[in-house]
Amino acid sequence: MIQSRTSSDLITHFDRVLALPDPLAVRYEIQQERQKLLRGKLNAVVVGRFKRGKSTLLNALVGRPILPMGVVPVTALVTLLRPGEREAAHVEFVDGQSREIPLERLAEYVSEAGNPENRKGIERVVVELPDLAKLGSLVLADTPGSGSVFRHNTAALERWLGHIDAAVFVVSTDPPMGEGDCELLAEVAATAGDVLVALNKSDRLRPEELEASLLYTRDAVEQALGTTVQIVPCSARRSLEGEIPDPGVEKVANWVRALAAGRGQQVLARAVARRTARALGREATLVDVERAAARRSVSQLEEALEDLESVRREMGDRVHEVAAAFDSGCKNLLSEFDDAVRRWQEPLVEGIGSELRQASLKITESRVGMLRFTQDLEATRDAIVTKALEPFQKEREERVIKGFSQLTERALHRVNELVDGAFERAARRFGVEMRRFDVSEGFEMASRLEYRVGLPKVNLDYIIEGFFLFFPPPLGRRLVTRRHERQLAEALGRQLGLIRGDLQERVTESAFSFKGELGRRIEDALEQLRSAVERGRILTSLDRAQLAERLAALDDRSRLLQDALAACTRHAAPEVSSLEGSQP
């Protein structure tokens, strides 16, 4: 593997940092990123929200339908595609076992239909194809979409967000790019070395409509990222079906080829630099605090430790305030759901009642017996209720998901400000500079509220007295239909209550997990600062020669960390890349 000059430069700085003695909080992170640079394997990930056409686009890039596709969210797990001597799919399970399967059985393992809620306990699936030989060390990855009814799919995606080196971010003309797309794009772009936005389903629009969609998408991307990235209109379906060559898919393919041809090593280095810069900045600040503490008197250090305890109490109060505002926001989300139910339930009952009466007449025309009539009407009633409730559930859950996401982002931003504030306060006390790298920090725990599959299950069958079956059919049918109509409000109320209870349970669970993580962030930051001051206090007990030796070591440590941070900052800068790549 021939490394780029950027990768070699980063590896050199990482080696110097790793040679430092403990404590070194960033050791594991730097070791992992260094290994990525040495292997040179770049993860080019196709990512986006559900039903944007990610799997279809990957299939179009490969040239045939390898990955399962469908009209509902299909992809349940991360699937890697890489070069291989023969066609094969390797299933890797969470318990460490693996199994080779034929490609035609792939859907049984990676699709939601074949592996619902990942009941088979699969970590990932690796597909090897000789057709991908020209990709070299490049690995393509298909990811589940976020925001679908399957919460575990979103969790699988979130675990991958910190490992994306280059991303094809897929949005569509229908639905157009929304707030959920923008939030996910910002999270991906925060650490990825390069991002290309594919505007899929462009064949559904007339030329003037496509131009308007492209302008809208460009504005949305710029607002999300504060900068511009490449946006390529394409039709993955048209390309895969071979109706006519799609120039957009070819441009995306050229982008991928350019990564494989050599540009990918620069992109990989940039992604690694972005992921490690913030941690290096805080590590450098801790060393500066320790070095400055060694030059303070014992009384000054005692005051500094007391000040840190004061900061701990203050930050505890601030975190409680953040948590209280977060809880209040969660309650408001559920209150908005209740308000919507009150507005929506009465007209819904009327509409379902009307459909039920029409269904009763249609079943009567089929001249079935009374028992069959009752069974068919019950089945029709359940289908009508489900059909009526699903749009409401989807619309309300989207609102709750959007609101919850906004609440978590505001809370996380506020807590990160508190952590930075604590570091700045310690830096000011000891007269040192706060080392910064301004890059968005993703929240990697799977705490976001997402859909569960379908409606909560409830038995909508009402107790229909058996003697109705023995009435004359005309009278019995009317009685059964009327009873169903009278019970509709109660049945819908129960169903809506279950939906509401399901939402409340998930909001509560996610909020509890999220708030716990916020508290841990504060405690970890303060403990790092306290330990730095304590180490400085120990230095004050050394004799002059020992102190000089230790301060010289700290000077070297600080210089190496600052040099590494400067290298990361320099190499993290984005580049403007061309879509023109080598031809296959």
40-64 b/e (C-beta count within 10 Å ≥ 16 → b): bbbbbbbbbbbbbbbbbbbbbbbee
pLDDT, position 564: 94
Residue 576 in 3-state DSSP? coil
The answer to whether residue 447 scores a pLDDT higher than 50 is no
Other CB atoms within a 10 A radius of the CB of residue 558 amount to 20
What pLDDT, in 10s, does the model give residues 242-261?
767 789 999 999 999 898 88
Whether residues 276 and 301 fall in one domain: no
CA-closest candidate to residue 74, choices 148, 18, 24, 140: 148
Domain ends where: 246, 281, 316?
Answer: 281
Please indicate, yes or no, whether residues 404 and 515 belong to a single structural domain of this protein.
yes
Note the pLDDT of residue 444: 33
| In a shared domain, residues 123 and 207 | yes
- 363 phi and psi angles, rounded to 5 deg: -65, -35
**On the CB side of 527, how many CA atoms lie within 13 Å of its CA?**
8
More confident residue, 126 or 437: 126
> Hey, what amino acid is at 399?
R
Q: Which pLDDT belongs to residue 471?
A: 56
Q: For residue 101, what is the DSSP state?
A: E
Residue 551 maps to a domain: no
9, 571 contact by CB (below 8 A): yes
Q: What is the mean pLDDT of residues 58-71?
A: 78
C-alpha distances (whole Å) from 82 to each of 44, 88, 90, 132, 542 are: 11, 10, 11, 6, 57
Same domain, 228 and 341: no
233: in domain: yes
Q: Please provide the DSSP assignment of 198-230 as one string.
A: EEE-GGGS-HHHHHHHHHHHHHHHHHHHSS--E
User: CA-to-CA distance for 577 and 240, rounded, in angstroms?
Assistant: 26
pLDDT of 438? 47
Q: What is the DSSP letter of 85?
A: S
Residue 245 and residue 517: Cα distance in Å, rounded?
49
The answer to whether residues 65 and 151 belong to one domain is yes
**pLDDT given at position 393:** 78
Among residues 281, 310, 326, the one where a domain terminates is: 281
Residues 270, 188: one domain?
A: yes
Q: Which residues share a beta bridge with 46? A: 142, 168
CA 228 to chain CA centroid, Å, is 21
On whether residue 401 sits in a domain, the answer given is: yes
* Tokens encoding 390: 């699903």
DSSP code of residue 579: S
Tell me if 228 is assigned to some domain. yes
Residues 273 and 401 in one domain: no
pLDDT: is 162 or 349 the higher one?
Answer: 349
- On whether both 47 and 174 belong to a single domain, the answer is yes
What tens digit of pLDDT does each residue of 264-291 get?
Answer: 888 989 889 988 887 888 888 888 888 8
**Whether residue 235 is found in the same domain as residue 317:** no
Classify residue 560: in a domain, yes or no: no
Strand 122-129 versus strand 88-93 pairing type: antiparallel
Whether 572 is covered by a domain: the verdict is no
Q: Which of 47-61, 249-263, 350-364, 366-380 has the highest mean pLDDT?
A: 249-263
Q: Which residue has the higher pLDDT, 323 or 472?
A: 323
* Residue 103: CATH number of its domain: 3.40.50.300
User: Which tokens go with 462?
Assistant: 């009402």
Partner residues linked to 194 by β-bridges: 166
Residue-number span of the structural domain to which 87 is assigned:
5-281
Tell whether the model's pLDDT for residue 448 goes beyond 50: no
Per the listing, tokens 């430790």 go with: 305
Residue 465 lies in a domain: yes
Burial class (CB in 10 A: 0-12, 13-18, 19+), 411: buried
Q: How far apart are CA 96 and CA 524, in angstroms?
A: 31
In sequence order, the β-bridge partners of residue 195 are 167
- The total domain count for the chain is 2
131 lies in the same domain as 177: yes
**What pLDDT score does 222 carry?**
93
Q: What is the mean pLDDT of residues 185-207?
A: 89
Same-domain check for residues 311 and 174: no
- In a domain? residue 95: yes
**Residue 284 and residue 528 in contact, taking contact as beta carbons nearer than 8 Å:** no
109 plus 212 within the same structural domain? yes
